[in-house]
Amino acid sequence: MSDTQEVSAPYGSGAAAQGKPAKRVRIHHLHEMKSRGEHWPMLTAYDMYTAELFDEAGIPVLLVGDSASNNVYGYDTSLPVTVDELMPLVAAVSRSAKRALVVADLPFGSYQLSPEQALATAVRFMKEGRAHAVKLEGGSAFAPHVKAITTAGVPVMGHIGFTPQSEHNLGGYRVQGRGDTGDQVVADALALQEAGAFAVVMEMVPAEVAKRVTHELRVPTVGIGAGPDCDGQVLVWQDMAGLRRAKPPRFVKRYADVASVLLGAARDFAEDVRSREFPGPEHVFH
Ligand SMILES: Nc1nc(=O)c2c([nH]1)NC[C@@H]1CN(c3ccc(C(=O)N[C@@H](CCC(=O)O)C(=O)O)cc3)CN21
Ligand SMILES: CC(C)C(=O)C(=O)O
Ligand SMILES: [Mg+2]
Ligand 1 within 6 A of CB of 80: no
Half-sphere exposure of 87 (CA within 13 A, CB side): 13
Nearest-Å Rg of the Cα atoms of the chain is 20
Can you tell me the ipTM of this complex?
0.95
The pLDDT tens digits along the chain (286 residues) read 333 334 444 444 555 556 777 799 999 999 999 999 999 999 999 999 999 999 999 999 999 999 999 999 999 999 999 999 999 999 999 999 999 999 999 999 999 999 999 999 999 999 999 999 999 999 999 999 999 999 999 999 999 999 999 999 999 999 999 999 999 999 999 999 999 999 999 999 999 999 999 999 999 999 999 999 999 999 999 999 999 999 999 999 999 999 999 999 999 999 999 999 999 999 999 9
Is there a contact between 69 and 110 (Cβ–Cβ < 8 Å)? no
**Residue 109: per-residue pLDDT:** 98
What's phi and psi for 102, nearest 5 deg?
Answer: -105, 120
Q: Print the SS3 string covering the chain.
A: CCHHHHHHCCCCCHHHHCCCCCCCCCHHHHHHHHHHCCCEEEEECCCHHHHHHHHHCCCCEEEECCCHHHHCCCCCCCCCCCHHHHHHHHHHHHHHCCCCEEEEECCCCCCCCCHHHHHHHHHHHHHCCCCCEEECCECHHHHHHHHHHHHCCCCEEEEEECCHHHHHHHCCCCCCCCHHHHHHHHHHHHHHHHCCCCEEEEECCCHHHHHHHHHHCCCCEEEECCCCCCCEEEECHHHHCCCCCCCCCCCCCCCCCHHHHHHHHHHHHHHHHHCCCCCCHHHCCC
> Which ligand is closest in space to the CA of residue 110?
3
In this predicted structure, what is the pLDDT of residue 22?
79
Q: State the binding site for Mg(2+).
A: 66, 105, 137
> Among 44, 160, 200, 204, which residue has the most ligand 2 atoms within 8 Å of its CB, making it the best to mutate?
44
Backbone angles phi, psi at 119, to 5 degrees: -65, -45
Would you tell me how many other CB atoms lie within 10 Å of the CB of residue 79? 17
Is residue 137 in contact with ligand 1, taking CB distance under 6 Å? no
* CA–CA dist 23, 1 (Å, integer): 14
Atom of ligand 1 nearest to the CA of 236: 3
**Residue 221: its pLDDT value, please?**
98
Please list the active-site residues.
Answer: 203
| CA–centroid distance, residue 104 to ligand 3 (Å) | 9
In the reported structure, the alpha carbon of residue 219 is separated from the centroid of ligand 1 by a whole-number distance in angstroms of 25
Q: Output the pLDDT for position 29.
A: 97
Q: Does the beta carbon of 178 lie inside 6 Å of ligand 1? A: no
Predicted TM-score (pTM) of the model is: 0.94
Query: Pairing state of beta strands 232-235 and 40-44?
Result: parallel
**According to the model, what pLDDT value does residue 20 have?**
73
